Structures are given as structure tokens and as C-alpha cells.
Chain A
Amino acid sequence: MDVVAGRAFADERRPIRHVDWLLIVITLCLSVVGLFLLYSATNQTLRQDGLDPFARVSKQAFTIGLGIVVLLVMSSVDYRFFKVYAGFIYLGSLLSLVLVRIPGIGSTDSTGTAQRWFDLGGVQVTPSEFCKLALIVMLATVLSELRTPEPTLADLLKLLGLAAAPMVLVFLQPDIGTSIGIAAIVVGMLIVAGTRLKHLLVLSAAGVVMIGLVFQTGAIQDYQRARLTAFLDQQNATADVRYNLDQSLIAVGSGGLTGKGYLNGTQTNLDYVPEQHTDFIFTVAGEEFGFLGAIAVLALFALLLWRAIRVAWLAKEPFGTYVAVGVASMFAIQMFVNIGMVIGIMPITGIPLPFLSYGGTSILVSFAGVGLLESIHMRRFT
């Protein structure tokens, strides 16, 4: 190989030349769709309160701008750097989860039922969102260092132990949605790591038993139990919970095939769907753009997940694959649980829809996830 050819070859492998542009485009598309849905969901209410109808949209756009910066930073950093500091990152995230529980440091929501975030100069930061990424990096580090082709029982227990710590802390906040997200990330990564079916089944059974115990011992609050069971037992659901689900179903169902038209949804405009700008943002798409619009949003997520799994496939070494799988699992479970909850096939748990739901931390973590994927993709030859 001569020098010129060698330089050319090196040039070919420069990360900047292997950006997954489609992934970027999909991410931006989802974000812009989210802004439109958010405007529809919030402008009337803000107007009635005498506020700027664009107030929420502007704030979300700013967060998205911040998210793009995060994406650029994350993709320009070699993802393998995180493997080196995985332990610190992991411990740091656990510390944040502990700190948020301490009164005076962590903040409680208005109803006083949950303690989930830090108030940093008016910006709410939810550590449980970041801890998902930290856990992904930690698990990927452990999995990529396995000596055997598939994880042994000891490995499994070690991995589960690592996952259980943040999961329990998040569960205690209480934030059942994020706990489910963490569980799904673990399962996704274990599947790709080649965990034996037998072990996975035992793990699932243990999970079911755990859930049963949680219900029996009353470790979860009544309102959570009500929300969780509402979709299982719709006849006996409490009025409040039913109202939430009913209004959501009415919004989506009344959209029909083509929807009522942008800003024309009665359920949306007249504020019938509670939490519409956050967890129930998908109802806007369902009501105003109908089945076709809802499917279009699903298609964007399908493209996103296809690109994420493709990154896992193309990654240069196992650590990259596992990180990509973790991020893909995170997006997939959040999308499925959120939309499933909106359309009544999953229990109501407070879980945001990536890129679409209003909320700072969720947006930033989603963009950081894409940044990780991009970093892996760009460095698949180096």
C-alpha cells in the first residue's frame, strides 16, 4: 500500500464520512411533528389563560435545539470512551436517583405523590431518564466483556443486580413507567447477548411473581393500582381513571380514517384529554390526522427503530452492538407502552413518547440516544 492510497483509505474511514443522515432526518421529522401536535394540544388552553399560545411550543423548540447540540456532542465523542467510564457513569446515575429522594434536594410534584426531579433554576431535570442511558452503557460494558458465547447464570445474576438497583430506586419514586422501560432494556440486551430461552423464561416468571408481590404488599399507591388495572377491568375502573382512558379513546377513535383536520379536533381543542401535551400527545395525531396520520407517526418510529437495529448490526465490536440494542429497546418500549396506553391496550403509566411528548429531560435523553447510535455508526470502520 503506498502512502497516497493509505491516506485515501484512512480518509475513507473518517467518522465524519459515515454519518447516518437518514437517522438524523427521522429524528428531526419526529421532533417537528411533535411541535405541531404540541401546538394543537396547548394553544387553546394557553389562550384562555391569557398566555402566549406558542409558549409551550417555543420552550419545546428550545429543548429540541439543545437536543441537537447534545446529539452533535454525543456523536462526535467516540462511544468507546463511555465504556472506559461506564462504572462512574453508572454510580453517578444511582447517586442522582438517591439524591432526588431527599427532601429539599429533589422536588415533589403538585399532588405530592411522586418525587422525581431536580429543580435546576426553573428547569426540571429527571434523573430517571438519564439513568436509562447509564444503565445501557454499564450493561453493554459487562456484556461485551463476557468470555463465553452466551451469558452464564452468574453473569445473568450480576447483570440483573446491576439493573435492579436503578429499577428499585425509580420504582420507589414512584415511576412505574420508567421501571418498565428499564426492564425492557435489560430484556432486549439479554436477548441479543444470547441468553438461553430457559433463563429468559425463568426471568419472566420471576418478574410476574415480583409484580404480584408488589400488588399484594401494597408497595404501590392506590392510584397506581387503579391506573394499572383500569385497562384490564374496564367495567370496574374508577371514574377518574376511566375518564382519562375514555377521553383518549374518544379522541383517537373519533379521528376516523383521515382525521378532523389540524386544529379541528374537538377533544383536543376543548381540553377533554388530560395530560394531552405530555403522555397523551399521540391523541392529537389520532384525532386530527386520523388513522393515516397515526400510521404515519408509527412509520417514523419504525424507520427510527430500523436504523437503530441496523446500527447494532453494523457496529464494529460488541460494545457498540449492545449499546445500540439498548437504545433501540428503550425507544421501542417507550413508543409501545405510550401509544398502547393511549389506545387502551397497555396500562396507564406515566411514560413519555420519545421526541413528541412535551418535557425537557425526555427530549434530551432521546437525542442523546440518537447521538450514541450516530457515534457507533460513524465509527464502524475505526
Chain B
Amino acid sequence: MEKASSRLRVLALLVALMFIALSTRLWFLQVLATQRFDKEARDNSVRFEYTDPLRGQMYDAQGRKLVVNQESLEVRITPDQLGDKGEAVVGRVAELANVPIRDIVAKLQDKRFLPSQAIPVAEFVPKEVGFFIAEHPSQFPGVEVVKTAVRSYPFGRLAAHVLGWTGLIDATQYVDLQKQGYGPNDIVGKFGLESVYEPYLRGERGKQKLIVNADGETIQALGTIAPTPGDDLQLSLDARVQRLAEKALAEGMARAHAYHDQNGRTLQANAGTVVVLDANTGGVVAMASNPGFDPSWYVHGLTPQQNKYLSKNANAPSVSRATQLTYQPGSTFKPITGLAAIKEGFASLSGSYPCDATYTKSGDTSGTVFHNWTTANLGYMSIGRALIVSCDTVFDAFGGDFYDQYAQNSIGSHADLLERDLHDWGFESQTGIDLTSEANGFVPDPAWAAEPAQSCPTCAFPYGWVPGGDIQTMIGSGYVLVSPLQLAQAYGAIANGGHLCRPHLVDQIVAPDGSIAKRIDSHCDQTVPYTPQELTYIREALRGVVSSGTAQCAFAGFPTSQVAVAGKTGTAERPPHQDTSWFASMVGPDPDHPQYVIVTMVEQGGFGGQTAAPITRQVIDALYPNLNDASQPSCVTPDR
């Protein structure tokens, strides 16, 4: 038995080794590596389910709802999950939801989205469609019906360019926004206020923690966090004024179609804008752009026709004329360039200047002749008078003076003083309005003129900066380009005594509980370097434009004793196109403290006094509903 006992010890030893192996491994798993496994156990069983928040709404200054949410039953298709019978599936969806197949196919093939995204193809489908699809999952792979909230616009097309639109996050946006918690099927702001205020409007997703078993069944729901709706936007915009401004613009453009240009063709008047700013705060009261579109098109996903209309139409209806495009300002520029001439000492408020039929810069070797809009010689006149009759040659001469100064001081830091003086008013830079894709505008200058001289023989300035550069800019023609909003901002400074107020559309951001999340204060710190007397002088002169100048026909019979109107017509030549029609103005009961600035512009609209000024008059009537303005524009004043 001695031997057996030693052999039993061997057996016992083997068994002991087994226990050592098992215990060591358990120690590793349960003590050393437990954190990793603990995390895996959690990842296993914990799922999060998210609920989309309601997007913030938009109200006008009076609290009228401009953008709200509407519940919609939406059919979404994920191209990746359609399977090999995709065509049949799409066909069934098209028939059920009563949407043309090609519309669905176009949406699914949109290159902006990934095939793994659930793309909305039909909205507001009846409940029965939802039930049918849910009950026949095998017939509809990759198709889901989702109850969701979509944008709705109680005023229809009103202010579409301002409000903007939303849409399914596209592939490039998703790359950027993923880190901020956006999912591949989220709806985001794409344009306008919807885009600029996306972080406020979005809200926070609701989250529910679910405990699921190995089959994915929910065993327990824990820790529900309700979604937080997005903040609402309270706009400075007044829906009533906006509506009437859009109406005035459309009617004015329609009227213009009956007029003829100098060559006897009827005016195209194909596009235009009206910008109404609060002169003292920069708040946008109205901002109309024509042609327009219906923002709800984007809610339903653009049909091929709508897409074609928005992207292929020569008039680019989705582009806001107020902020995205720039134009030669024509004579509306004269108050500003005139002030520059005064500032640089070429003119004074008390001086008199010849308004000849033509102007040729003395010493200009090219001998270029600049014509006034009239062939008559109007004699000597003040700056004010030159504004009232819109005399070009007076300002042409100041342009010549600017050129001389440049020529004498061409190596200074400010090669051209006119350019610097225009920068003072904010030209050639964005106003900073809370909208997307704002244009910069352009002020020609010697450096720009010098550039193409070497590389581009067909460019405008083959010999570098010439007197014509300054002369044309003085009267708002040639190469200078401004957006209607920039011009409105500048006129605001003339109106309010020299403050350049940053235009803004949103007055305050209101949290879901009604508290003010953010108040958008007016930014009027930047000033223009002109004295109150100089600005008062200009306002007075511009009232003369309305009472006895180039806008007198447009404002015939207007009760200026109740509401003072100071404005400047503009007619910018844009061959081969027809002239751009402008009227930039400031209005208010107190002539010394105008309330609003109104800039109206109609592309190919003819004379400023002909098309833009009467539109402005209609807008003023809208701003002052108690104003008894029964008269009509009586005649047409030609001007430049």
C-alpha cells in the first residue's frame, strides 16, 4: 500500500494543479480584467432609444407664427436595404403613397445622400398606408413609415428667402455634425434662418435607456429623458409689412412690364427686392425678394419640376436679391460719394459746382467723355441740388479730383481715398446679417486694376487705374457692386446720425419655457466719419428729391407732412441688359429722425423713379396704415 499511497499523491497533485489553473484564470478574469468585461456586459444589455425634439418655431415681431411644426406620417426608404427587388418595392410604395415613381427614384438617387440614409419619399401619407406597410414587411424591405414633425408655413411663400428651409442632413454635413450628436437621418437647417440658428432651433433629443435581452426584446425601460424642444425665434420682421412689401414688389414689377426702355423694348423687370430696416436698430422689418418659391416644397422633398425651377431657372428664384446678389447702385450712391468728396475737401456744403452736359477730365490723355443723363447744361448748383436733379457731371468732377489725389499719392497706404471712404460705410464687406451666403460686394481700386493688366489683356483696365475708375464709382456705375442690404445699412447711417447698424432678423431667442435664451442687441457701434450737419444736409436734400426732384412724380400727392420721405433714385446702366431701377429712402414722421430705411431694387426695371420709387411708396403706405395716401404716382421722371 505504500506505493499506492505515493501514486495517490500524484493524483492529488494533478487535481491540485487543476484547481490552481482554474483559480488563476478566475483571478485574471474577475479581478484583473473585470472592468473590461463589466463594460461589455453593459454594452450588451443597455440600448438607448432617441426621440427627436420638436424644432423651434419662428414668430414675427407681433407674435404671428411664421414657421411651425406639423405632424406628418412619412415614408422613408433606405436604398441600401431595398434588396435586389428594389424596383418592385419602389413601385409598390409609389402606388400606395400616390407619388410618381420617377420622383421617388430621383430622391433615392440624389448624390448628396448616402445609400445608408433613410430618405423621405412621401409625406402626409394616410394612416392606412402606414398600417399596410407595417403589416407586409416582406413586401417592403428598407421601407419605414415614421411619425414625424415637419415644417409648416402658415403664411405660405411669405419671406421664404429669409426663413430658409430644412432638409435631410446630407453626407458632407453629416461628416461635420456627427461629433455634435447628429444622426444620419436628422433634419437640419439648410438655408436662411433655419441654417443660421440651427444650434438653437434643434433642441435636444430625448433619450431612453432600455435593458434588452439577448433577443433584443426590451425587458425594462429606465431613465427616460424627455426631448427638449428647440428655442423659438422672435423676428424683427413684421409679417404684415412683409406681405404688403412682397405685394408691392410684385405689382410694381408687373407695372414695369408695360413700360419701354430707351430702345423701345418693354422692360423685363424679372427680379427685385425690397429691404425695410429699422433705421435705429438695424432690425429687418421686411425683406422681400422676387421671384420666390414655396419653402414647403423642401418639406416634401423637391420634385424634379420644383428642382428644375429652383436650380435651372435663369432668374434663380431661390436666391435672395437682398443679400446674395450685388448690383451697381447707380445714383443711389451719390449721397455717399458726395459726402466722401466733402470729407476729402473736393466739395463743401456751401459750394457750387457746374452741371454740364458732359465732363472730360482735364489732362486725361484718352479724352473720355462722360455724359450727364440730360443733354441740357444745368449750370452751377449745390451738392444738394445735384442730388435732387441727380446730376452726374458734378459727381464726375469729384471723381476726377479723387483720381488726381491718387495720382499724386499713389504709393501711400491708401492708394485710392474713394475706396477707403466707401469702406467706412461697410461696402465690400458683409453686413453680418444673420443669414447665409451673404455677398461681399465690390469696390474697384488701383490694386485690382493693376492685377489683370499683366495677365489678362481683355480685362477692363489694360493700362491700370484710370480716371474713369473713380469717376464711374462716384455715380455708382462701372465696376462697383453693392447688395441692396449694404445700401440699406449705409442709408440707415445717414438716417440715424452716423451709426452703421448691423442688420439682423432675429430680435430674441425664446427658450421652450418662455424665458429669453438670448436677446440680439443692436450693434450700432461703428460710425461713419461725418458730422451731424453733413448728414442732416443730405437728408434734407433727399427730401427734395421726393418733393421736387427725380422722385416727385412717384410721390405726387403723398402726404409728406405726416410722413417725411427722403430718398434717392438710381438707374444703373447694365448693357446689354436693361437698367437696374433703384430707390433708396428713409421715412418717418419726424424728418430729423427717420424711423425706417427702405431700399427697393428691380432688375431691368428702368428708371429709379419709374419702377422702384412707386414700389417704395406702396411699402411706406404699408408701414403707416393710418396714412391717408389715396393718390397714385402721376408721371415718370427720367434720371440716372
A301 surroundings in chain B (CB, below 8 A):
19
Query: In the complex, what residue of chain B is closest to A335 when comparing beta carbons?
Result: B18
B3 surroundings in chain A (CB, below 8 A):
149, 194
Q: Among the interface residues A250, A286, A336, which one has the most CB atoms of the partner chain B within 10 A?
A: A250
Q: Is the CB of B8 within 8 A of A318?
A: no
A203 CB within 8 Å of chain B = no
A343 CB within 8 Å of chain B = yes
Q: Is the CB of B8 within 8 A of A257?
A: no
* 16 extra A-B contacts, CB within 8 A, seeds A291-B26, A298-B23, A313-B5: A192-B11, A194-B7, A247-B44, A250-B44, A252-B29, A253-B40, A270-B212, A270-B213, A271-B215, A272-B213, A272-B214, A309-B8, A321-B8, A332-B15, A344-B29, A345-B25
A170 CB within 8 Å of chain B = no
A167 surroundings in chain B (CB, below 8 A):
none
User: Which residues between 320 and 357 of chain A lie within 8 Å of chain B, taking CB atoms?
Assistant: 321, 325, 328-329, 332, 335-336, 339-340, 343-345
User: Which residues between 1 and 52 of chain B lie within 8 Å of chain A, taking CB atoms?
Assistant: 3-5, 7-8, 10-12, 14-15, 18-19, 21-23, 25-27, 29-31, 33-34, 36-38, 40-42, 44-45
CA distance A313 to B36 in the complex (A): 45
Asked whether A250 and B41 contact (CB < 8 A) given A309-B15, A336-B18, A340-B21, the answer is yes
A251 surroundings in chain B (CB, below 8 A):
41
Q: List 16 A-B contacts (CB under 8 A).
A: A193-B7, A252-B30, A253-B33, A256-B31, A257-B31, A266-B45, A270-B213, A294-B26, A306-B12, A309-B8, A309-B12, A332-B15, A335-B18, A336-B22, A340-B25, A345-B22
A254 CB within 8 Å of chain B = yes
A267 CB within 8 Å of chain B = yes
Interface SS of chain B: helix, strand, loop or mixed? helix
Distance in Å: Cβ of A259 to nearest Cβ of chain B = 9
Query: In the complex, what residue of chain A is closest to B12 when comparing beta carbons?
Result: A309
Distance in Å: Cβ of B544 to nearest Cβ of chain A = 84
A332 surroundings in chain B (CB, below 8 A):
14-15, 18
B18 surroundings in chain A (CB, below 8 A):
332, 335-336
User: Which residues between 213 and 267 of chain B lie within 8 Å of chain A, taking CB atoms?
Assistant: 213-215, 219
Distance in Å: Cβ of B39 to nearest Cβ of chain A = 8
The size class of the interface chain B forms with chain A is 35 or more
A-B pairs, top 6 by smallest CB distance, nearest first, are A253-B37, A254-B41, A291-B30, A270-B213, A256-B34, A254-B37
**Contacting residue for B36 out of A192, A253, A270, A318, CB 8 A:** A253
CA distance A271 to B211 in the complex (A): 12
A188 CB within 8 Å of chain B = yes
B42 surroundings in chain A (CB, below 8 A):
266
CA distance A188 to B8 in the complex (A): 9
Q: Is the CB of A271 within 8 A of B214?
A: yes
A345 surroundings in chain B (CB, below 8 A):
21-22, 25
Asked whether A286 and B25 contact (CB < 8 A) given A191-B10, A266-B44, the answer is no
A253 surroundings in chain B (CB, below 8 A):
29-30, 33-34, 36-38, 40
CA distance A267 to B219 in the complex (A): 13
Distance in Å: Cβ of A16 to nearest Cβ of chain B = 25
A312 CB within 8 Å of chain B = yes
B45 surroundings in chain A (CB, below 8 A):
266-267, 270, 272
B19 surroundings in chain A (CB, below 8 A):
298, 301-302
Asked whether A249 and B22 contact (CB < 8 A) given A257-B30, A266-B44, A291-B30, the answer is no
CA distance A344 to B22 in the complex (A): 10
Asked whether A343 and B22 contact (CB < 8 A) given A192-B11, A270-B214, A309-B8, the answer is yes
Distance in Å: Cβ of B337 to nearest Cβ of chain A = 76
Q: Is the CB of B7 within 8 A of A256?
A: no
**Contacting residue for B30 out of A149, A255, A266, CB 8 A:** A255
A69 CB within 8 Å of chain B = no
**Contacting residue for B22 out of A246, A255, A339, CB 8 A:** A339
Q: Is the CB of B23 within 8 A of A295?
A: yes
B33 surroundings in chain A (CB, below 8 A):
253
Distance in Å: Cβ of A172 to nearest Cβ of chain B = 28
Query: In the complex, what residue of chain A is closest to B3 when comparing beta carbons?
Result: A194
Query: In the complex, what residue of chain B is closest to A294 when comparing beta carbons?
Result: B26
Query: In the complex, what residue of chain B is closest to A322 when comparing beta carbons?
Result: B4
A166 CB within 8 Å of chain B = no
A369 CB within 8 Å of chain B = no
